[in-house]
Chains A and B, each alone.
Chain A
């Protein structure tokens, strides 16, 4: 049975004071480090993820400053070797430590059980183990960082990764462990969604964030084992010389790429699907309109997850794979672009005739649509074979994936964080500064990455520590943008942190959202809900009235029962 009784909690020494919540119910390091409460685990993930994002961000700024001048701004202080380690660690930290766990493990953990009106996830111990594994994985990354670094690129391509003197083993062990962490999270969510939905919440009454997390979880459990095997083989290759990837022993280096992208392409959807889920929530809540085309958005998440398994070969159009394979992969790639495009249309249509509240989360959602559309459209240039040959491994690709991963996922993550922040910590942040830094991030981001499309299509290859002078102007613009972006991101975080100390107390439902997590107090009590919540349509706002006295929305008992129907 998957019901969670309070007795199963290790930290059941919480107090029963009705005014206490999950933050105050018990205290001390142990009550956090060994908690089984999904909310605390979500918060710990949040802290860990922010630390990783900060590390990855500092590395990014160093990279960008270095690239201000063709031979490196810092002279010998950042050598060719150092640069190679910097971009590798930046990529690896951002991918494995930050972005893959960001939305599912931090926000998903906090929000999902509340959305289903449950007391916890299906397997709280496994959830805790997932976090502990994340910490262990992160430690191995840090070991690689402080020993000899890592200079293979986050892709670990063989045979270079077999030869290099840097600490590939520590990093692969780290990534291997992080893989388990990711699998645990995914498994937990699948079971939670399947078995713990309250009566009345049919699949098509689930909030779209849950659909997105569910689709993500499918990828996490199906794709991640392949990464694990690939990394084990790589370790075997380095330590024992088994000769499966090493051409000098008759192995095939391209095989590694197939294995690697078989995981890592779906991993891109692990990064973006949950972000799309957040956007579906935000567009609806802040437009006060039911999401347009609910069924399509729900199915398209699953479609993207499954089709995402068939397109890995588009990373290898110039690797020497057969032209036939390239053509097939290109065709499949375009098939995934359609559901994503339609989602964008749906989000935009949701605003039609709405009552659009330009609160900070909505500003991020609008930024997301702008940036993700650019990210998606530039993917067309890379999916088309003839243009990809020219653009592959240039800055065009760097710009494209930053538009998708940072412009898409990170922006959605920050938007989601602002949205759920009052629920998580029971405080309201300052709207003025929230929006201000959102704007700084938006302009900084575009200034950083738009010039990279231009320099990439003009031929500037990626992973270059030095470059020929004709590209300097674009690099200078990009670096100025990155500094601005850095200021914006730090500002966005400071606004949230300041709110913890100075913020006005948050009502249960400050935004007038109709999903279940907004029916408990902010922050939620230890058991999430005092009474089993009543399931309504997640996007029906008609029964919610603004109450100026509490600064939030309450259920209007006199509201006419709406025809809550998506079909």
Chain B
């Protein structure tokens, strides 16, 4: 396609098997539009220059309609939009229906977090996928609408609470090599359906690995608790489960973080309001307090804060995981 200009101006890199055809259609519509635009505006400017009001110039008789002309300019655009429609819809069916035997990743969106779950039990907060393999994304949402969007793959699909939706992609290039993330140039994944306060920070990285390397990564990711010391595992979980979204670990107490900061808090006392009560009580930040704040976050709210934290049920966060997070919280200064 004649896409030298368009490539550089309009598109993120093409990194999936469908991206090429989407961009091809885009280019087709683009050049067609450009042609008609130049035609219409060209005529407009020409008429203005030729017939503008000036001394001695008057309007000249001309037909106030012309059947041939009107039929031509209705029929030609109709055919053209028919063509656009056709390529649009074949391309679309392509991204809607995942090929058989695709590798399936479950995507769970929530305010304001993504969790990617792999068939071997691994979970991650950035997306990792193998190159040259069909990957199906089974999407769900735990609260409001979100939308799963990877521009480089040209795919997008809403995550609708109460139902499953899906989309798929086959990546054509790795983003780097090795398990060290800094050796990669990851792609972007955005939330594209407005979902409240932190909608705009609900974006993540997409890593595309060589197949063998991906398997290695998935193996390691499946065993966080076993493969890491508790504080390290806790830190991974703290980020992955979305705690870091609302709680700062640098002491930042600004409105950017709806929850209170959690560093240097271990063993300290704080004022909380038990649910339904208006007089604060004092509690100490210890194992039981942390566990309760995770399982029933709205039962006691720190004075000056608003309730709003997600309830982490045992399906979302296992007891052993809470233990690791506690180890991490103890360790952060």
Contact = CB atoms under 8 A, between A and B. Distances in A.
Interface of A: 76, 79-81, 84, 151, 153, 157, 159-160, 163-165, 247-248, 250-254, 287-296, 317-320, 323, 326-327, 330-331, 334, 337-338, 341-342, 344-345, 348-349, 351-358, 366, 369-370, 373-374, 377-378, 380-381, 383-390, 392-394, 453-454, 457-459, 461-468, 539, 541, 566-567
B308 to A, nearest CB: 9
B29 A461 contact: no
B170 interface: no
Contacts of A250: 162
Which of B33, B64, B89, B143 is most buried by chain A, counting CB atoms within 10 A of its CB?
B64
Contacts of A369: 40-41, 44
B2 interface: no
Contacts, number: 271
A490 B24 CA distance: 42
B59 A457 contact: no
Contacts of B18: 386
Contacts of B47: 348, 351-352, 354, 356
6 contacts: A288-B59, A344-B40, A345-B73, A351-B48, A384-B87, A387-B26
Contacts of B69: 349
A294 B64 contact: yes
A475 to B, nearest CB: 13
Given A320-B163, A354-B51, A389 B22 contact: yes
B178 interface: no
Given A289-B59, A348-B44, A459-B12, A387 B196 contact: no
B268 interface: no
A319 B65 contact: no
Interface string B146-159: 01010110111110
B100 to A, nearest CB: 17
Chain B interface extent, by class: 35 or more
A275 B198 CA distance: 37
Contacts of B61: 353
B160 A253 contact: yes
B194 A327 contact: no
Nearest to A359: B53
A163 B25 CA distance: 39
Contact of B40 (A327, A348, A389): A348
A356 B52 contact: yes
B192 A392 contact: yes
B201 interface: yes
B289 interface: no
B92 A386 contact: yes
Contacts of B313: none
Nearest to B73: A345
Contacts of B203: 468
B200 A467 contact: yes
Contacts of A541: 59
A518 B329 CA distance: 78
A220 to B, nearest CB: 28
Contacts of B87: 384, 386
A288 B62 CA distance: 12
Contacts of A291: 64
Contact of B96 (A165, A323, A330, A355): A323
Contacts of B92: 317, 323, 326-327, 330, 385-386, 389
A69 to B, nearest CB: 13
B236 to A, nearest CB: 23
A369 B191 CA distance: 35
Contacts of A383: 81, 84-85, 88
A389 B154 contact: yes
Contacts of B70: 293, 296, 342
B101 to A, nearest CB: 21
Nearest to B26: A387
Contacts of A326: 89, 92
B32 to A, nearest CB: 8
B332 to A, nearest CB: 24
Contacts of B52: 356-358
Contact of B194 (A79, A153, A348, A392): A153
Nearest to A87: B194
Contacts of A294: 64-65
A458 B256 contact: no
B53 A330 contact: no
Given A289-B59, A377-B36, A393-B193, A356 B53 contact: yes
A357 B29 CA distance: 35
A387 B29 contact: yes
Given A164-B196, A378-B33, A338 B81 contact: yes
A395 B135 CA distance: 27
Contacts of B26: 381, 387, 390, 457
B165 to A, nearest CB: 4
Contacts of B62: 289, 352-353
B161 interface: yes
Contacts of A151: 196-197
Interface string B2-28: 000000011110000010011001100
A356 B37 contact: no
Contacts of A465: 199-200
B115 interface: no
B74 interface: yes
Nearest to A380: B29
Nearest to A317: B92
Contacts of A380: 29, 32-33, 81, 84
A378 B203 CA distance: 27
Contacts of B190: 459, 461
Interface in B177-202: 188, 190-201
A384 B84 contact: yes
B160 A377 contact: no
A334 B143 contact: no
Given A84-B197, A293-B70, A385-B89, A366 B48 contact: yes
B60 interface: yes
Contacts of A247: 160-163
B144 to A, nearest CB: 4
Nearest to A342: B74
B17 to A, nearest CB: 13
B229 interface: no
| Among all A-B residue pairs, the 9 with the closest Cβ atoms | A386-B91, A459-B151, A247-B162, A384-B88, A385-B92, A464-B200, A351-B47, A377-B33, A247-B161
Contacts of A292: 64-65
A381 B87 CA distance: 11
A465 B92 CA distance: 30
Contacts of A288: 58-59
A354 B78 CA distance: 29
B325 interface: no
Interface in B199-256: 199-201, 203, 254-256
Contact of B151 (A289, A330, A357, A390): A390
B80 to A, nearest CB: 9
B120 interface: no
B82 interface: yes
Nearest to A252: B162
Contacts of B30: 381
Contact of A319 (B10, B85, B91, B158): B158
B197 A392 contact: no
